[in-house]
Structure 1
Amino acid sequence: MSEVTTGVMTHQRLLDLLALEGARFRVISHEAVGKCEAVSEIRGTALGQGAKALVCKVKGNGVNQHVLAILPADQQADLSRLATFLGGLRASLASPAEVDALTGCVFGAIPPFSFHPQLKLVADPLLFERYSEIAFNAGVLDKSIILNTDDYLRIAQPEQVEFRRTA
């Protein structure tokens, strides 16, 4: 399957899930952009509402875990904090091939939902503390979803882990 086809499948699966669960959301079609700042401007949302999704690999201490780590788009990840929380020694970003295999999406289009049994979902709680809605690319680069924060937490049930960089 091509990257376009798998992304579209992820997009439809996400829409089906949100509809089935009675989520409060809206879909926005826009130019295909991969940068958080540009897409938040197009969406008309604050940068901090954006749910940035990082596919990571945590290793060491007997841990070998892929993680979908979600944080506000205006924050930077501290991968060593993420690794420590999960009991590992180090964490790194996954390769494009691993991202495709685990999410069916290209970088920049990954939604904050895990549909793969070997991809653990974690999210930094700051994403849910500042805004009543979160925004994210929905499996494809030219469509975004703006979703009620409480509905996201209820449906996705991410493990909440503080892993953003702090000063």
Structure 2
Amino acid sequence: MTPEFSRLLDVRQIEGKHVRLSPNEAERAALTERFLLVRIDELVAELDLSTSEREGGFRIEARGTLKAEIVQPCAVSAEDIPVSIDEALFFRFVPMATGYAPDEEIELTADELDEIEYEGAHIDIGEAVAQSLALAIDPFLTGPQADAARKAAGIGTPEDSGPFAALKGLKLGGD
């Protein structure tokens, strides 16, 4: 399956390149559906790319920024909330690891946690940007009508129903 915002780059031809990625209207609509948003008005990623040799292929690093203007529904009232996103980006693409069994347990160092494996001679920088957008979206975003919607539904605020709600009414002794 091809991702909604696919931008394949040949790892042998990207050293020192600067790329600007921005999905077209159809791609923004598909990403909007994928991430359960109301709409994506703007999405721009600016990235500087560098490569280095690594056993089995090239190691690619991409550094830059992600800027987006989106509208997402309030998690409580479903009202439309405009959101501006401005995130620093860093991706490291490494050749697919070989030599371990599918069920074998492997240990990752902290440096390896942000690596994206690739096969062949291409990386999909567009999908990496799309996943970064997904991580920047607040899944529990609430708007100004959230408290009224909670009250109308007969549910309290998070402070009223959280794990410390019972302690809220307790009075400390030793006046």
TM interval, short-chain normalised:
under 0.3
Computing the radius of gyration from Cα coordinates, the structure with the larger value is 2
Relative to the length of structure 1, the TM-score reads 0.24
Q: Normalized per residue, which structure has more helix? A: 1
Higher relative contact order (CA 8 A, sep 6+): 1
Q: TM-score, normalised by structure 2?
A: 0.23
